[in-house]
Chain A
Amino acid sequence: MFSGVTALTLFDLVVRSMRKNIKHYYLYFFALIFSVTLYFVFATLQHDDSVVARSGGSMGSAFAVAGILLLVIAGIFIIYANAIFLKRRSREIGLYQLIGLSKNKVVRLLMIENVLLSSGALFIGIGVGILVSRLFLLLLMKLIGFDGVISVSFSTTAVVQTIIVFMVIIGLTSIQMLFTVYRNTLLNLFNADKKGEIPKKPKSILSAIVAILGIALVVFGYWLSGRMLNEMLFFNMLAVLASTILGTYLLFRVTIGWVLYKIRASKQGHLGLKNSLSLATLMHRMKGNANSLTIITVLSAMTLTMLAVAYSLYYATEKETRYALPFDYMIEEWAEGHLTDEAISLEQFESELTTAGIDYTKTKLELLAVEGVYEKGIFPAVVGPRQFLANSYIVNASQLQEAGLAVEIPADGTLIYHDALIGKFVKDIETPFEIDVTSSNPTRTFKAVKYGEGDVINASAGSQLVVNENDFEKYKQEMVPESMEDVFEEWIVQTVYALNITDKNDLAQASHIYTQNCDEGRSCGIDYYSMYENSLEGSGLFIFIAGFLGLVFLISTGSILYFKQMTEAEQEKQSYKTLRQLGFSKKEIMRGIVRKQIFVFGLPLAIGLLHSIFAIKSASFLFVSDITVPTTIAMGVYALIYLLFAVLSVGYYKKTVSEAL
């Protein structure tokens, strides 16, 4: 049969063309392998017994959501890489048709190639994935504070899942190839690598208006992002996103082109080599690059924000836990019979601590329930209309100091206001304000002079008013329990004991004693260490997933820019040849190219960073603590890895310029 012969020759052609064009293939091949590996690692972790066992379903669903995101990014990345790959080979595809291969045959040829490449990538990618997934599992377990021995098991499910997912993606790239062959004329195919637009003289007034509008939209987005916390929070968030993204697009599509045009016009033809190689080539591709630069900028901003928030959460875990639980343990002195089955009595706890040889301090604290009215309009809208004190206590500053808490002692008639729950939202609450205490006779007005950090008692559901000894005693005398209708009788005057473990290394053991009656996986009688472990698990998982996705985003965006620059370098090879013939040295040419790279890589990074700084600022209510340090570290690491791609790109240009002559 004829077809048998044809298939064989086609296959030969494929093998030959792949061998000859390794340079073109490796880029696409790399994109495929990279995506397969990361997806497989993710799928492995998702199905790993030790991960699933760690915290039931919650971790699994977090992985599932992240897995979908990962898939979308990997899909886009592969399709983009394939588009670049096809564009570079369009001449070859045209040539096949020119020498008489039918479109069907060319498609078949490309399909065979794609299947070969993809199965190779799947094979290698899964292989690499098996090797590195253990590494990632170790990292994840370390992040969530698990010290036990872990073993990663080979997951058939993960393999099957990866193969199915990538079959779909391969199907998509095949359709892409189909389109390239059927939808393009020969002429298009032959001219595809010569593309580049001619910078038109911008219509001065309109361009100027749109150019400024771009900046204005971004600035408006930034401005609004600082004022989002009101009833229209959701609407505001959408407005900020829309305004910033549209502004970014206009920035790349119009503003930058406009500025470049102005600069160039001012040179009156005396452009110089550096600008010829940067400014002029940039202007030539601004229109085509606007979309990808916008996407890369927005993606970078998102990734940076996600990473910075995740790292800050992780970084601040200890501090944030301390805000809610200032003492290692706080045990109430219950009347006999109130003790629940699960909690442990103070006596038992103390005796077991002593047996175990764990040193601790114990301080008695008195909590007096209080009701009252706030001065009007002190709290921002996001906290809700707070009028009355609820679940609140008056606490004695001297007792707190004795228990080892660093609180100031307020003057007579004044108090320091503590409320960790709303603290995140009211960092810039205006002090002083007044609180009318109504649960005493006579009623008294206190002046809240300061907003204190965190809570001063463990696991409080309301505010604490810290007053000095004098005021404390006075209130104790004047308090009218009957007036407090919303408070349980036994909670009106409470005596609690604050226990702190002297050597914090003993905390784990102490908490083990404290929670001995609790069921597996349930936290009862909230203590600092258990809470910390719990949060660490959450924030560790979050930083892991954010870091993983961030890495994928980062490498995808970096690679896309790098691939684009590779293509540009090849398109401009003739220019470099001419310049070298004219007598410009490699060094001089490289200077111009480096300037272009600074622009191409630096601008999305710089704008992305700026966006994310404002995003993080507006999200800073999530944190009670200062997050400058973790944010800076996260951004620094991101920028460093990102700039590696710029270095790679410069290296590629260097090679191209060297080979040009």
Chain B
Amino acid sequence: MMMKKTISFLIVLAMLLSVGTALADDSFNTNKDGYSTSYTYGYDYWGDVQESPDAYRVKTVLDSVSLGLDVRISKPQSLYVRDNDLYIVDTLNNRIIQVQYKNDEYTVTRIIDHVTGGNPETFNNPYDVFVDPEGSIYVADFNNNRIVMMDKDLNFLKEFTKPTDATFDQSIDFLPRKIVVDVAGRVYALVTNVNKGIVKYETDTSFTGFIGATPVSVSMVDYIWKKYFMTQAQRDASASFVPTEYENIFIDKDGFIYATITNFSEYDLKSDAAKPIRRLNGLGNDILVKNDRYPPIGDLWWMEGDSTYFGPSKMTDVTVFDNDIYVVLDRVRGRLFGYDEQGVMLWAFGTRGNIEGAFTSAVSIEHMGADLFVLDQLENSVTVFTPTEYGNIIYDAIQKYQEGEYDDSADIWRAVLKQNANYPMAFRGIGRTVFRQNDYESALEYFKMAHDRENYGRVFKLYRKQWIEKNIGWIFAGLAVILLVPLIIGRVKRMKWEVIMHEHSKVRKND
């Protein structure tokens, strides 16, 4: 008997252990190397990869051959789009190629390789370009240590050079890497080896300081460990607590600067301490809206490690649409991630490789309307993406909702759901609309599908009130029954008892 019990106990134990060891892989639809099994995908509420229809497809690939260039593009570093013109910064050839989009064709209209009246007149490894609405061109002339501004006929206007201010470290070369210009003509530049933030110039080329320095975050444990337990030699050898440099910047139509950072600890990403994408206001504070379960960090699942292929997404560039949808470019896995103004991921696509729609070393992204341009510095080509029907209806739905045409947007979201039933935003969008139409029951259903707790709670409060008002009669009836039934049963029992006692007394009398 005892033996049998022991054996059965051991069997149960073994079963439980085997269950414990056979824990399922927590990532679905993902290959072992962290690459999705489908080209376009999204993340569901649980952070699992869900395959999705393609939101974008490749329209064409622009390279030296298709653009008809005699000198081949060499290690281009940046793209810029103004209206219908695409500017490709051909860094090693010291020139900027202006490509015009007209009648569904891309043609080279101008090659910008000099600045008339400049000193010197040619560029030396230009890294970035900016064109203002009047057509004036700003070039980050990296190895000439200047940011040069010229009019639309390439005549020299002014240049922004190394600040003589004491706050700027005079021992380093002034190497401008990325530039943006706001509507007032103020220039914001990212300068190599400067980690105090974005270098800011007034219109009169005077340096007015740094904005948006990344605050240094040191954990208490790190600090104590470093301060009290390390030797001087160890302290010198370890990395010091310094702010990180921005990777890239973009200025949106409202004058807010979007900046990306690629230098962070991968363990800080999901807690949103790393903030790889930032939207900086005039004071340099991050005001990016994050209303989703996960912060916008690109891939939510990755192989740990800091190699070329593994590790978290590193956002090398960002571009912002006029309706505040922003797209970031991940150089690790060559992926693009689209987010709406609330920080909800719309889609993700892309991969590494050298076929169409894949990148070897993506460095820059720009948009023209809803079309996306991605620059690959090793392939020396620009891939042009255009939204598919699926991608377009997502944009339409967001647009309609922003314009306040809620009923229309719900219809479009229904069309999205027909193509992709794993799209939480669509459920939320429809939920909001049916809620406005006072259809609480289906609103609850949709918000539940979207895992939107706040909105669900809001609807449920009204639904509950309505339900109670409708069923108040039944509720009171139920309460009455619960109260009365035991009372009646007690009364009946007592009566029975009295009758029995009465019978007994009669019997006794008869005796």
Q: Do A and B come from one complex?
A: no
User: Which residues of A are interface residues toward B (Cβ below 8 A)?
Assistant: none
User: Which residues of B are interface residues toward A (Cβ below 8 A)?
Assistant: none
